[in-house]
Structure 1
Amino acid sequence: MHRLTIYRYLLMLFLVEMLFWGVSNRLQAQNTHPVLDSLRELLHNSTDQRTRLQLFNALARAHNTHDPSSKAINYARKAVALAQELKDWEAEATAYTVWGDLHAKVSRPDWAGALAYYRKALKIRQKLVKDNPGNLQLQMDLAALMSDIAYNYWQWGKLPEALRYYENCMELGHQIYQADSAFPEAEVFIALRHHNMGAIYWAQTDYRKALHHYLKALEYFERIQNKGRISMAMVNIGLVYLDCQEDSLALHYCRQGLLKAKEAQHTRYMAYAQNCLGRALERKGQTDSALYYFDQSINTYGQLQDLGGLGMNYHSIGNVYQKQKAYTESLTAYQKALLFAEQIQSRYWIAMNHQQIALLHFETNDWFLANYNIQKALQIAQTEGYREIVRESYRLLADIYQAVGNTAEALAFYKRYVAVKDSIFSEEKYKQLNQLKLQYESERQEQENALLRSEKSLKITQLKQAKRSLWLLTAGVVGLLGVAVLLLYSRQFLQKTRRKLQLQNEEIAQQAEELQMQAQALAEVNEVKDRLFSIIAHDLRSPLAQLEGVLGLVQNQRLSAEELQFLLPRINQNVRYTTDLTNNLLHWAKSQLQGIVTDPEVFDLHEIVQANIRLFEQVAQQKGLRLEAHITAPSLAYADRDMIALVLRNLISNALKFSRQGGVVSLQATPLVEAWQITIQDSGVGISLEQQTHLFSLKVGSTLGTAQEKGTGLGLHLCQTFVKQNGGYIGCKSTPGEGSEFYFTVPRANLTAPQNGQSQHHPTTNPSAEIHPLG
């Protein structure tokens, strides 16, 4: 009986493997996604609502891995709606979680937007665990969601919040592991959370806690023999020792980490280990070898299109050139690193690059730029808790003030530097580091000895069992081969026919999906059309009707001079609103009918800003506001002058509209690497978080200003469209009751390009640059 069961089991395994091998090879030859294709076919053929719910979630998760897009979000949205209809709370929480993942990828780096969906999932999962206290799987799902939220905060740069959620999910993970040590994923889950907490404590320069968590992670990874994760943990331990000036230990762990990554054939871990080994070699004075590994890491990260990894390597190259006094090459490398950091919104690397650029300017005696950049770095580091950057910023500020002769300020900053330095490096912490290292080495040696003893006993037992089973397995394999060949040839025709039907079904399902998306897009266009017609019918006709009525009274001499003087400001305001609305409607209609065509040229931002200041001076005086501009001349840009002028006009008008009497509206231009950032800041009523998420959309609705001025929201949509068309991005930061800050970028002009009838060159920009509605 047992032998017959074994034969059937082996036969089944062999046939499944053969069929899977044949199907997967044909799918790969056609460059398809087998998971997505299979799930879509199942969804198309399914009529059961609960099955469709599970398939919606499965498709959203699969798209999250293979194709993060608005189509994937649509599957998550459908899953939420169907889960609520069926009252399947676990499926609803799953859908909200993957929706948060997709939102962070599709609308990146909108971490706050993604967090809104995570919190909806968290509320549901907490209730499920409370109602089912003994269900370990529900507890693990809750712990995994907390980890997702922690990672979201980590990428956002909010490290204290990330640590709080990691600690909570770690506590829950240990409870699950204690209840059932064989529970799937519990051990791996705990190991990865230890590693992530080590990374956050390392960023905060709490080296004792960072090393503790990295060593615990390494212990778990070695226990489950995951070479890739072992590589990652070893490299990070090496970096902690590097920051603690333990250069030999750092070099040892980085080299071992690179070897493990190569054994695992894991490209991303190899790229990371190459960079870290280069940093360790740089500390040892082997600059040529360091540059070699940095170049290797750049090539590897380039294959992965990893902007964060590229920025990290250019920062490391800048450090090497700075030590060699090659200041031009060093500044170029740091500026590239800063550009990558700004693109991925990494506040840590933005601060690090500003700090190094400041040090570079200090070494070349440019005190102004040194002070400007170090203040940028210090502001971010104090906000996010990067103590090492705070320490070095205080030291450099002390040197700057000493260089310019301000000894009092120099002494004050030097005292702050010493205080932070003493809090980071102390003899007690070094003792704790050494104690942890010795404890880890001792525990690992004991584990290795016990493992060797158990392996020896196990091998003896396995050898005896292998001898008994060898003849049985040999006969079984021969029989399986014969049966498999027979079945494979007999089903070949059936498989071809089935594949043709499958392709036809997929084509029909794809066509149906495209028709559904077209219908949805048409409905959105009709909705926008109805809203715009409502604006034209009411907001455009109403001021004209008022003006017509007043003119009739004047013509019939039914108004006195005092009454006319009283009505003139209101008439002027209505005419100005009607003019702005008409201009925006005309620009929007032109963009919809003819498409947006830019006509870039070199122009001075200072000139068009001053022209708009003069245009709105009277409006500001009437509301008792102060309108300021801090833009020096010349500030040359390369873009469509009329489009940028319209953007400025709309943003200044909005700032004045929503500012209270006695407030200030200020404009300033900040030079970036290849662009200008224009900022319009007011001290008005501010914008709620819910309103900020729709600021730049076509969800048009009337909004009254502080003096009952009207608005439509169409102007901000045009601003977004024109800024994006000129290769920039636009965003907003606002706190209700404290004011708003709108900012956008425009490419800087290349001063070396010909300008007398020849073609004008300008910095390369990305016409599809991302928009950051929450800053």
Structure 2
Amino acid sequence: MVFRISAILFFAVVLPVSVASAQDNMQAGPDEVTARSDSALVHSYLEEAGVSKGEGDIRRQRKLLGRAYEAADSLDVSLLLKAVEKDLGEYYLETSSYDSAETVLRRAAERSSDGIIQTRTLNLLATAYRYQSKYPEAMKTYNQGLALVDSLESPKVYAAIKTNKASIYENLGNLSKAVSLYQDGITFAEIVEDSSFLATALNNLGNLYFQKGDYEEAIPYLEESIAISEQQGFYNTLLRSKHNLASAHRDLGNYKKSREVYEEAWALQKKVRPDIPPIQLLHSMGVFYLKVSELKKAEEHFQESLEYARQAGVPAGLFHNLIGLGDVSVARSDYTEATDFYSNAFDVGQKVDVPPFRVTAADKLYKSYKKANNFDKALKYHELVKQVSDSLTEAQQDEQLALAETELGLRQQQKINQLLQERQDEQEARIQTQNWLIIAFTVVLIIVIISLYLLYRSNKERERINKELEELNEVKNKMMGIIAHDLRSPMSSMQGVFYLLKNEDLELEEIREIASELEISIRENINMMDNLLNWANSQMTGLKIDIEKVSAFEAVDEVIENLSFSASHKSITLVNEVDTTIEAEADINLLQLIIRNLVSNAIKFSNEGDSVTITAKEQNDEVIFKVEDTGIGIPEEEREGLFSLQGNSRSGTNNENGSGLGLKLCKEFVEKQNGTIELESTVGEGSTFYVSLPKAS
């Protein structure tokens, strides 16, 4: 918990000095002339004290106020004495002498019925109550001041009291109400262009966000308050704002910036308030040094602040500095010394009867005793924390209720609030209109973007379809070329053979040789026809797949048997090394078509005396078929497009023709069975195709 003193809005009373004309003095008696002269002297003291306050010369301010009080008291003029007591009470508030301020201001509030001075005095008296945590008395006194002032005749005083009431809500945890009142104060200051009021209101709101822990939200308000105060020479507000800004940067972890601003605040403190104990600033700097682990400096600052608090009789200063010294001891792992400081802080909290102090001190004692392994005492203070916290919650609720009842008693309609509310309503209406325009523009922009995106997708889809149509047209042309050339050749050969047979122009041996060649050609074309029909069927009607448990050996063996004639014609050995126990999840017809195409390609691109070996092995959840030949291999530049119809088909070692459709079907049918196909090839050494299919479960 950070010790702080909330900012107060001070308004120096500048009463018109009565300057008697020569004629008046001539007509007045000696005693009356003397009284008027002494009254003017009192006012001059007050004016000079106000100037000294603005310049930060607190010592001279106090001396002048003392002289003004002596002169006013000797005259025994109630109104004049009340004005002096008001300024004197304001001085005591500035110097943290709250008891003296309360005494002087209460006496001043009872002396006269003058509305403006009475209101300003009540504002200061309520602030003295607030500084002593007497919130119901403070709220009641603020409302008494509001009841005496006309919001239009004295808008600055009215707004000041409303803003000071925000501090009560802030201290009692009603932060939304506090923020609202502070914002009203800032709005008022901007309307009437009062720089002093604006700087103070900005500092108050920044300090509220700091106390909430919204440090990044606090910083802009504090920086704006500093800028105004530096420009206008409002040194007291400048000191408060720099102090709060340094603490905000400290708790954000911006230690370099925090140290810099603390040093500026300290220099300003010595210049502006040399005779006022810097209790709060020393404590805040002690917290800073504790956070950056400069423990000796932290201890020195807490001790100095503690001594000033003892001299000034400020219980809050005693409490927070004792807590700070306890925290330093904890950082040094000296829990015995820490518990001594925390115990003294707890005693202060009990003496002044401030429950939050007791909660904080008890929680510190609980943690210290726990770290010191004194669990009995740790448990005692842990239970005490809960008890005091519960009572504190009830007390806060009671105070909130009391404040609400007090507020209900204030029935006077305040015109300044209406003015501010109307201005706010106009601003909100403009903002609402702007929001609707932004929403409409956003909706239109989104529609345009979606339309452009759909148009783009439509164009891309059209391009894709056109490309597919072009590819299909190329495939059609290729198929027609295959049918026209590759299928026509064996038919022409057969027609020639039949013609020779018919005319009995061939010998028996020649017929056998031609028949053998013709059989091979017909087998290749049957295989090509199978591929064409399967591809056409898959393109037009969709492929129907019947997945079942298939014996890998039997599927391969049947393919080898069908292709053995073609292989023997080129003296190529077909070897089935598939284990008879291996089973795959596949469509038997598609699997045999895949193996047949791969083996046929291997025969086509092998030389006489080469071999083609088919193996299979189980690996994880797959069966991997391997079709390996010792043929001529596939050049690197021909592998691209090998599994599509875009590649060029090449002739075999015996000038065998091909459509290029077989490997495309292999890839398509393998993938439809949740498998993969891969190729390895070395020119002059052979090629190996790998087909992976799911293993039978």
Using the size of structure 2 for normalisation, the TM-score is 0.46
Bigger relative CO (Cα 8 Å, ≥ 6 apart): 2
Q: Which has the larger radius of gyration?
A: 2
Using the size of structure 1 for normalisation, the TM-score is 0.42
